[in-house]
Chains A and B, each alone.
Chain A
Amino acid sequence: MNFDYSEEQKMLVQSLERTLAKSYDFETYRAQLETKSSHDPALWASLAELGIMAMPLPESVGGFDGNHTDIALISTELGRRLVPEPYVSNVVVSAFILNATRGESAAEELGGIAAGETRFATAFYEPGERHNPLANNTKASKSTDGWSINGHKAVVLGADTAGHFIVSADADGSSLFLVPADAAGLTVRKYQLLDGRGAADLIFDNVTVEENALLGDAGTAEAIILEAVDRGAAALVADSLGAIEEVIDLTKEYLRTRTQFGRPIGTFQVLAHRMVDLLVDYEQVKSMSMEASVEATNENASDRMKAISAAKAKVGAASRKFGKDSIQMHGGIGMTDEYALGAYVKRLLVNETLFGDTDYHLERYSSL
């Protein structure tokens, strides 16, 4: 057993860290939020150049054949810097589905993702279905020229900037369809999430797509959807790890430098112990994030789901505590928009809730 990263992985993290340190500080993040867009083409291009989009993709399409620990390392850095770009929705979840359903024949799409040129977003969740990724109120029916889709998909991560959507719909069972963002009858209601990442609701009103828009076979998508969700969840757990590390740094620094009653507030035992509890929690979070990154690709679905649910539930509950306690220890300053802490608290809330919230994963864990 070892918990080490390879030399290549360490180098990847270092170059990503360096690039973001240079080009994406908290003020840049705030300026990007002001633009009301989750996507900055220049930043995206520089990230693509580093190879982080290509990392998990097969060599045959210009990728580096990386594994899920690579994805975790990348996600941790993106979380640490609050980068709102659609990495997980596109490179982790959508790329996995395209590869799993089409393999070589999706070379063009996957090549586009690897190069940072095309973006996809994956739509599973629906209004009124909470965190159930297998919601099937969206219907696809055979028509003369292909498929006709009707339904509503909720809070689709990355859908604000994607050119194509991968949509789950019921066609005699769970099925996946590739739908261009500009398809007739499709309404894309875009918005930003709490932390500045982008999403949209997708409303399908007799959206017609060609016959070959079907990804894989009709009625067989459940296993792939569950696996895609788990990969997304594992990446978000790693993203949270990066955000939590920053929360710890900010809070430790504040406890050390803020003086009240003539001494640093960290010397008050009630605050010191509260901080220590967070440090213990951090180690637990880190372990679970590591396990999730390894188990995300486990071929035994039940083992995979158990590990992912454990990580998502543990990290979700810890994230909530990190958010509350770090703000409380800061006092008023922790409530302000100008100070980075609040942005991390919001990032953690979004990560907690997407791809199954804490309750969802607790229940799934106990049912496995």
Chain B
Amino acid sequence: MELSLTEAQTAFRDDVRAFLDENLPADIKETQTSGGHLSKEQHQRWHKILGDKGWSTPLWPKEYGGTGWSPVEYAIFDEECYRMGAPRVLPFSVSMLGPVLINFGNDEQRDRFLPGIRSGEDWWAQGFSEPGAGSDLASLKTTAVRDGDHYIVNGQKTWTTLGQHGDWIFCLVRTDPGAAKPQTGISFILIDMRDPGVEVRPIITLDGSHEVNEVWFTDVRVPVENLVGQENMGWTYAKFLLQNERIGIAGIGQSKQQLVSLKRLASAEKKNGKPLMEDGSFRSKLSEVEIELRALDLTNKRMLVETERGMDPGPVSSMLKIRGSEVAQRLYELKMDASGLYALPFQPEAGEPGWNDELAGTLAQARSAPHYLNTRKISIFGGSNEIQRGIISKMMLGF
């Protein structure tokens, strides 16, 4: 057994570091490390830089633009990005849609859409959840009715992350309302969000931010060539898509970055005349989460290696998601607690472009409570932790 990086892996890490050092724009690094909201332009600029290097879609098969990295190399890349303050490319196009098109789409669709995903030029949103279909996703009601060469789409999607920037949205829609099981009447289609009948409405969350949206469809005409795979097989593709998320799902890189920033904040904060970092009770809380993260880091890497050898990815991604979300939430919580009284002034726009008010406390303190509140979502979205436990229970316990 050898748990440290091999010589080749160390060299790979140094390459990644050198690339990031040279190519990461200062403004993007600043927004990312201070916990601000990246603009659409910043997201796309960074995506394009990675795309030009050939690193925007590392996990894809090589013939479609993948890098051929091993899972461990990918994990190294992920961590280095966070360590250097580089944002991660959004998952919707690269990690979710891309693999579905590669596995189940046709050549025309791959030729048409994969280049825009690699470069980041096309902004993709995800249209799965609906007001009545959250954990029970298969009960979704948005319909697509065939009309000649088009589907006519009607319905509403919700929790659409950054849908306000969207050019395209991949959706699960009901094409066979009479199917014996709800899962068997669902199709996977691609909708141009600039088409008539598509309306995006913001949802403001309790932290005061606008990340998620409702997307409404009223008689939207979608060409049949935008159907992915076969009609009524969408559920299969969606399950593939969600399981495919496992690499990176534990959020190790991000949590390591948060741990660093928590320590920085706690070093600046004083308690009884000494840095909070030197306070015994704070230190034991910090150590507790640090150890959990250390274990998760190793578990993540061990499981990535094992899934490569054919272990069922289902329970793995669920386990990593559960524990990864808990660790991340705990880190944000400690950051808020460490901020003391200055966690309380509500300044959700602090530090964002155009914000000119005077700051109460430091920027890190001002953002601590909104971040704590915002990250309640990570044990809810992408299949809540309750749903993940159900998946593990079914697969490992048989009930």
Contacts and interface: CB of A to CB of B under 8 A. Distances in A.
Interface of A: 125, 127-132, 154-155, 189, 191-196, 199, 201, 260-261, 265, 268, 270-271, 320, 324, 327-328, 331-332, 334-338, 342-343, 345-346, 349-350, 353-354, 357, 359, 363
Interface stretch (B16-24, B188-196, B199-207): B199-207
A143 to B, nearest CB: 29
- In the A-B complex, the 6 residue pairs with the smallest Cβ-Cβ separation, listed nearest first, are A342-B206, A260-B136, A155-B341, A337-B204, A191-B345, A128-B270
B340 interface: yes
Given A260-B139, A271-B386, 15 more contacts: A131-B340, A189-B360, A191-B345, A191-B360, A199-B344, A265-B135, A331-B135, A332-B134, A332-B381, A334-B376, A335-B206, A343-B206, A353-B344, A357-B340, A359-B337
Contact of B373 (A155, A265, A346): A346
Nearest to B136: A260
B369 interface: yes
Nearest to B129: A332
Chain A interface SS verdict (over half): mixed
21 contacts: A128-B269, A128-B270, A130-B269, A189-B358, A191-B347, A192-B346, A196-B346, A199-B344, A260-B139, A268-B386, A270-B386, A324-B376, A328-B379, A331-B384, A332-B158, A335-B205, A335-B376, A338-B204, A343-B206, A345-B206, A349-B344
Contacts of B139: 260-261
A255 to B, nearest CB: 13
Chain B interface SS verdict (over half): mixed
Contacts of B369: 194, 349
A249 B346 CA distance: 26
A336 B341 CA distance: 24
A129 B270 contact: yes
Contacts of A363: 281
A362 B379 CA distance: 29
A195 B373 CA distance: 12
A199 B345 contact: yes
B327 to A, nearest CB: 14
A328 B347 contact: no
B269 A354 contact: no
Given A336-B206, A337-B206, A354 B344 contact: yes
A323 to B, nearest CB: 8
B208 to A, nearest CB: 7
A324 B376 CA distance: 7
Most chain A CB neighbours (cut-off 10 Å) among B204, B276, B342, B346: B346
Contacts of B356: none
A335 B159 CA distance: 10
Interface in B346-399: 346-347, 357-358, 360-361, 369, 373, 376-377, 379-381, 384-386, 389
Contacts of B376: 324, 327-328, 334-335
Given A129-B270, A327-B376, A331-B134, A191 B346 contact: yes
B272 interface: yes
Contacts of A130: 269-271, 276, 340-341
B270 A336 contact: no
B342 A155 contact: yes
B100 interface: no
B270 A260 contact: no
B346 A194 contact: yes
Contacts of A129: 270
Contact of B134 (A195, A260, A324, A357): A260
A278 B135 CA distance: 22
A349 B341 CA distance: 11
A338 to B, nearest CB: 7
B204 A350 contact: no
B343 interface: yes
Contacts of B134: 260, 331-332
Contacts of A201: 360
A328 B384 contact: yes
A345 B381 CA distance: 19
B37 to A, nearest CB: 16
B284 to A, nearest CB: 11
Contacts of B204: 336-338
A339 to B, nearest CB: 8
A202 to B, nearest CB: 11
Contact of A193 (B340, B346, B358): B346
A92 B164 CA distance: 46
A193 B360 CA distance: 11
Interface string B128-160: 010000111001000000000000000000110
A125 to B, nearest CB: 6
Contact of B208 (A327, A337, A338): A337
B341 A154 contact: yes
Contact of A155 (B272, B276, B360): B360
A4 to B, nearest CB: 35
Contacts of B341: 125, 130-131, 154-155, 353-354
B380 A331 contact: yes
B138 to A, nearest CB: 9
Contacts of B282: 359
B329 to A, nearest CB: 8
B369 to A, nearest CB: 6
A125 B343 CA distance: 14
Given A332-B381, A357-B337, A194 B344 contact: yes
Most chain A CB neighbours (cut-off 10 Å) among B333, B384, B386: B386
Contacts of A331: 134-135, 380, 384
Contacts of B159: 332
Most chain B CB neighbours (cut-off 10 Å) among A191, A342, A357: A191
A127 B282 CA distance: 19
